[in-house]
Chains A and B, each alone.
Chain A
Amino acid sequence: MAFSQESKTATIAIQSFEGATTSQLIWKRFRRHPGAMAGSVVLIGLILAVLLAPLSPYDPEKSNTNERFQTPSWQHPMGTDALGRDLLTRVLYGGRISITVGLMVVAITLSLGVTMGAVAGYAGGMADSILMRITDAALSLPSLLVLILLSAILREVEIPFFQRNSVLTIALVIGLLSWMTFARLVRATFLTLRELDFVTASRCLGASPFQIVVSHILPNAIGPIIVECTLELGYAIIEESGLSFLGFGIQPPTPSWGNLLSNAQENFIRYPWLAIFPGLMIFLTIISVNYIGDGLRDAFDPYKVLQKAGEL
């Protein structure tokens, strides 16, 4: 099912080259999707907010023991935490970490997965077989269980770039267990696309496999890849928060949405806002990202959109 869906997408994506430029068409179709537009607004707002976090008058880490556990007020819109620190500031700084982890995971899974899938899909034969075996093996790992162990291992490693508990380590751990979807997706797309005439033509004209892959096939596979990227971002943020909740993710004092949630547990009954706000941020981010992904999927898949418009 997945296979045929992607091939259809790929085929029609190519056919839609006639007429206006592709990006214009895609943007037009994206705009017609109300959820995606709303999601984009929210996500951009969130990203702006976390980027502007340093503008906050409060220090996210410095304690202020006179103002502990204050309920939300004008001075502290989200209240204060156990050390008197402004929660809004910490949530914004935490957002930087969590979103960074998410983006890093996307980067890791993208590079790993696309490479694996591209080589497997285009080269075929033995390479395909081996790479798919590796992918299957990786898919056979019970992911949360292995995540816990991997995190326990890599967190203590002391080599350059991988200091204890760093953001990169957590991103790497999550990324190592989620590149497989990309690989399969890209491989399926490549399998279809490489049989098409224009590819054969390019080969006859003497283009190297690398050139063909990069200039001809990848651009047409972009659609599903981008959609998958947005989903992966959402997934990574939730995984990070889950790991931190269990104590295997980002460690304090670096705030992340996940460890803000886990620290808030102790005081949950008396000061529930300490948990409600970080959770709300995760929720808003993921739901916007998902809506954007849905909009992108429709935008890249004119078959569906034309259906909506009743033209099919």
Chain B
Amino acid sequence: MTKRLFSKQSFLGIILVLSVAVLAGCGTAQTPAATEAPQPTVEQPSVITIAIPEDPPSFNAAISDSGYDALVMNLVLLGMTAIDPEGNVFPVLAAELPTEENGGVVVDNDAWTMDVTWKMRQDITWADGTPVTADDVLFTYQAIIDPNTGFWIPGIDLVTGVDKIDDYQFVIHFSSVYPAHLTIFGNRQVVIWPKHYCKAEQGFQSWDCGREPLSSGPFILEEWVTGDHLTFVRNPKYYEAGKPAIDQVIVKIVPDATVRETMIRMGDVDMLMWATEQVAANLKNVPDVQLSISPTNRFVMRLFINLAAKGSTDPEADPHPFFADVRVRQAIRAAVDVDAIASTVWHGYAIPVWTEFFRPPYDTCDIPRPKFDPQAAMALLEEAGWVDQDGNGIRECHGCANAQEGDEFRFELLTYAEYGEPLILTQQLIGEMLKNVGIQADLSQSQGSVMWADSASNGIEQNGNFDIDLYDDGYAGTDPTDFIWQYYNSGSAEPDMGWNIGRWKNEQMDELLNQAYILDEQERQNIFCQMAELLDEELPQILLFSTLNADAYSSRLSGVQANVNSVVSWNAADWTLIK
């Protein structure tokens, strides 16, 4: 008797538990991490929605650089300067850009140090009315350099101090001439934080104001439901009169790329940040969706060639059996048909690039475009001692420089999986093209977190565990010097000391790099062109093409401009709704 009661009870009990869970669900996703926001008084607020794949880690793009942090940061915070799509630096919090002509930049030619004096605008306030002053700049600087809780930003190790002159003027002391000094406190990643609102003791990396910011920019964070969405409303205290024109911006988290694309087609979202080539091609014929393409590109797909044998980091002791010979590298470059790859897999949006210096203002070097010429490639290979004598389509070493006699020319072409389908297909096409000239490339993929980890964590690149690595990179901002240093300087070839993972050590390049840290733009251009020629001869990396930087947006929006030097929200204050 009793047993039946219990079975019914237990069954009902489970139903009860599940029902409670359902009711609990009704209460979820309701509690916002809210900050007080002034309500817009307009009848029908204009709302736009941006879809991104994951939560921004925080509003502080300096510490994480996922891109989505920069997206939301640029909606609410301002830096001293910003960079426009063409690569020009313009003042934001600054009243004007300091130069040597106007006395803002003072170089000590003997000690080779530099002092830069900044004048700030006096009409910008935080959303609570407090003016933005030099105190905030000093506060931000102190937080960044704090030994316990600070974080590295590009150029900060060259700064010896920042001194306040008055409420709206301060001077930065540099220990060396630093060409990119204009954007040190104002770029895609770095903004100025409010001294009276952020708690210094919490530290730059984890302070609460990095998740509940106080705005100086066009919008104010109203609510952040993690994993779901962020809502922003117009900042009535924004310094540009009449802007922003949009009342509300919703940033929606949609993890699946197909769903994001579908949503913009259906009009459920108004903007897709970082539209891929495939999405761009898919949306080309959708009348309500436009594509804004950045006038310059940043990321260049390239073949990183290991000049040391796989598994070694010493190119002198263990030269790579195949690639230590520059003729082989030249052959590989000639064997790859970049146009074919760009027009098919990348839907025509990839632009062939063959030198690091392809972006204004340093794009005036006269490096001829390498020709796609499989015949020339084969001739080079034969000359380098790689001949196919056994007729199996793969060359063997017969008189080659670094391999054993009879060794097959067979290597591993590595790339990373998270990029997506186009990179995998590119890898395949390259493999086929190399096969056509008698080189066997075995294709394999790894993950970014393994490839780029440090040597202690078995990072593939830092440990030299690769033959050729196919992936993309490019320098942020307008100054390539640090980037070139990281990739081509001899010192950067030591494990964990940089990203010269091909272990290319060239004294001439080192010398040129040392000379490049000056302010004279003419002279720099000259130096860069010498570097370009050297790189073109030596080919430590084979550059292929630059990938698209574009954002898709609904036709009812106007003013959207993709910006590879920042993110699409760089001019959010200028967006308007035309429908």
Asked if A63 meets B429 with Cβ closer than 8 Å, knowing A156-B446, A252-B445, A270-B282, the reply is yes
Asked if A266 meets B447 with Cβ closer than 8 Å, knowing A62-B432, A83-B345, A156-B458, the reply is no
| A152 lies within 8 A of chain B by Cβ | yes
Q: How many residue-residue contacts, CB under 8 A, span A and B?
A: 60
Residues of B within 8 A of A253 (CB): 424, 427-428, 443
Nearest to A61 among chain B residues (CB) is: B428
Find out whether the CB atom of B421 lies under 8 angstroms from the CB atom of A263: yes
Within 135-175 of A, Cβ neighbours of B (below 8 Å) are at 152, 156, 164-165
Find out whether the CB atom of B258 lies under 8 angstroms from the CB atom of A269: yes
| B211 lies within 8 A of chain A by Cβ | no
Which residue of B345, B421, B428, B444 is within 8 Å of A165 (Cβ)?
Answer: B444
| B340 lies within 8 A of chain A by Cβ | yes
Within 256-275 of A, Cβ neighbours of B (below 8 Å) are at 263, 265-270
A155 to chain B, nearest CB (A): 8
Of B278, B282, B418, B421, chain A has the most CB atoms within 10 Å of the CB of: B421
Within 326-383 of B, Cβ neighbours of A (below 8 Å) are at 340, 344-345
A10 to chain B, nearest CB (A): 28
Find out whether the CB atom of A266 lies under 8 angstroms from the CB atom of B278: yes
Find out whether the CB atom of B446 lies under 8 angstroms from the CB atom of A247: no
Nearest to A152 among chain B residues (CB) is: B447
Find out whether the CB atom of B447 lies under 8 angstroms from the CB atom of A252: no
Find out whether the CB atom of B282 lies under 8 angstroms from the CB atom of A251: no
A81 to chain B, nearest CB (A): 9
Which residue of A62, A68, A82 is within 8 Å of B421 (Cβ)?
Answer: A82
Residues of A within 8 A of B515 (CB): none
Asked if A83 meets B278 with Cβ closer than 8 Å, knowing A63-B429, A252-B424, A265-B257, the reply is no
Find out whether the CB atom of B418 lies under 8 angstroms from the CB atom of A247: yes
Find out whether the CB atom of A63 lies under 8 angstroms from the CB atom of B444: no
Find out whether the CB atom of A83 lies under 8 angstroms from the CB atom of B429: yes
Residues of B within 8 A of A111 (CB): none
Residues of B within 8 A of A268 (CB): 258
| A65 lies within 8 A of chain B by Cβ | yes
Residues of A within 8 A of B417 (CB): 247, 251
Residues of B within 8 A of A252 (CB): 424, 428, 443, 445
Residues of B within 8 A of A152 (CB): 447
Within 406-428 of B, Cβ neighbours of A (below 8 Å) are at 417-418, 420-421, 424-425, 427-428
Give a binary string over A126-140; 1 marks a CB under 8 Å from any B CB, 0 the rest. 000000000000000
| B261 lies within 8 A of chain A by Cβ | yes
B448 to chain A, nearest CB (A): 11
Q: In whole angstroms, how far apart are the Cα atoms of A82 and B443 in the complex?
A: 18
Within 60-117 of A, Cβ neighbours of B (below 8 Å) are at 61-63, 65, 68, 82-83
A269 to chain B, nearest CB (A): 6
Find out whether the CB atom of A63 lies under 8 angstroms from the CB atom of B458: no
Find out whether the CB atom of A63 lies under 8 angstroms from the CB atom of B282: no
B412 to chain A, nearest CB (A): 9
Residues of B within 8 A of A61 (CB): 428
Nearest to A268 among chain B residues (CB) is: B258
Residues of A within 8 A of B458 (CB): 156
Q: In whole angstroms, how far apart are the Cα atoms of A270 and B256 in the complex?
A: 16
List, sorted by A's number, 20 A–B pairs whose CB atoms are closer than 8 Å: A63-B425, A63-B429, A65-B340, A82-B345, A82-B421, A82-B425, A83-B428, A156-B446, A156-B458, A164-B446, A247-B417, A251-B445, A252-B428, A253-B427, A253-B443, A263-B421, A266-B421, A268-B258, A269-B265, A269-B282
B binding-site residues for A, Cβ under 8 Å: 256-258, 261-262, 265, 276, 278, 282, 340, 344-345, 417-418, 420-421, 424-425, 427-429, 432, 443-447, 450, 458
